[in-house]
Structure 1
Amino acid sequence: MTSGSRQVGGGTLFTEPFLVVSHRAGAAESGVRDQYGQPLGTVAEAENGTFRKALRMITGSARFRPNCFAVRDSGGSVVLKVRVHDSRFLVTRADGTPIGEIAPDGPHRFALSAHGRPVGALENRPPRDFRITGSAGSEVARAAEEPGRGYVVEVFAQLTDPLASLVIAAALTVETALRPR
């Protein structure tokens, strides 16, 4: 925890200052918990056919990596859908209403946009570290891998949509979709 972090959470994916994302090898679902271990939701591969999943496991090919994710709250309701197409991430609400896009914008960088306007950026800082900034360039979130714990996502301020949804989508799905298989 940093001293500038929000200390109070609201018990949801969109209000907690820390999200701990645990990836299990070979699992199609990752758990998301708060800093105290309380479940906040899950991120799961969605709408990926059995054949595609089998090909990915057999071949180990990135070509067959997940192409759609469902972000669910602690009650199991889908709150965001993220569809991956050619390294672009299209983010929608559960009902399919578009929120925005996360698209490559140079090496190790993704632009976050909504309705054609930039709202932020994600920088991939190898090895497995992400920095997310708002449209003004100030850092709004950071994700880092912690051995034995998974990914820890720290959100520095209460964000509003569309940036809040794009930050959650980016923090919970980009690494999984892009990592080598």
Structure 2
Amino acid sequence: MTGMTSGSRHAGGGTLFTEPFLVVSHRAGAAGPGVRDQHGRPLGTVAETDHGAFRKTLWALTGSARFRPNCFAVRDSGGSVVLKVRAHDSRFLVTRADGTPIGGIAPDGPDRFTLSAHGRPAGVLEHRRPREFSITDAAGREVARSAEGDGRDYVVEVFAQLTDPLASLVIAAALTLDTALRPG
């Protein structure tokens, strides 16, 4: 976990929402990114949903936004869906597993996204380069940051125990934007 600070002030609780470090792996042959804690214990997965094999193949071959994945299921270590993220163009709607809206993620410049809930800004994600971003809360305090890890991995550090809706928006952004926005 090079390049990360030791600013986390909370102990891990063994879930996507309570661990201070999330190691996100994009391994060949995997259905989607896997997420582990800093000790390698599985915390969950992210899977592209609502797609047929043909559409996925077209996106991989052409890189066309027309075939880009548009729905992701964030699952916990037991396989239960905890969040759904649906993309439309470059905007993202984040919901609970039952479809209850949590908030949205929308572009606010070339490398910047606003996280919002209940019609109000909840935070900002600034995308620095692939797999490197910073997330601040509505007051401008940095609450999470990512850095390139080993190979196809990146590490997300969450600096404090967050509450909803910001916690869900941070997890959704940290685990799906890299996949949703990368070229084919």
TM-score by length of 1: 0.94
Question: What residue is the counterpart of 2:36 in the other structure?
Answer: 33
What residue is the counterpart of 1:177 in the other structure?
180
Q: How does 1:132-143 map to 2 (within 5 A)?
A: 132-143=135-146
In the alignment, does 2:89 pair up with 1:86? yes
For residues 14 and 56 of structure 1, what CA distance do their matches in structure 2 show? 31
My pick for the range that moved more, 58-67 or 162-171, is 58-67
Q: How many Å separate the matches in 1 of 2:99 and 2:10?
A: 33
Distance 1:63 1:96 in 2: 24
Contact 2:10/2:160 (CA < 8 Å) preserved in 1?
Answer: no
Aligned to 2:119: 116
Matched, 1:164 2:158: no
Aligned length: 181
Query: Residues 1-181 of structure 1: matches in 2 within 5 Å?
Result: 1-6=4-9, 8-25=11-28, 27-148=30-151, 150-181=153-184
Following the alignment from structure 1 to structure 2, what is the Cα–Cα distance between the partners of residues 28 and 85? 21
**Partners in 1 of 2:58 and 2:152 — Cα distance?**
29
- Unpaired segments ≥5 residues, structure 2: none
SS in 1 for 2:33: strand
Identity of aligned residues (%): 81
Q: RMSD over aligned Cα, in angstroms?
A: 1.5
1:179, 1:27 → 2: CA distance? 17
Unaligned stretches of 5+ in structure 1? none
Q: Name which of structure 1's ranges 56-65 and 150-159 shifts more when overlaid on structure 2.
A: 56-65
Output the TM-score relative to the length of structure 2.
Answer: 0.93
What secondary structure does 1:29 align onto? coil
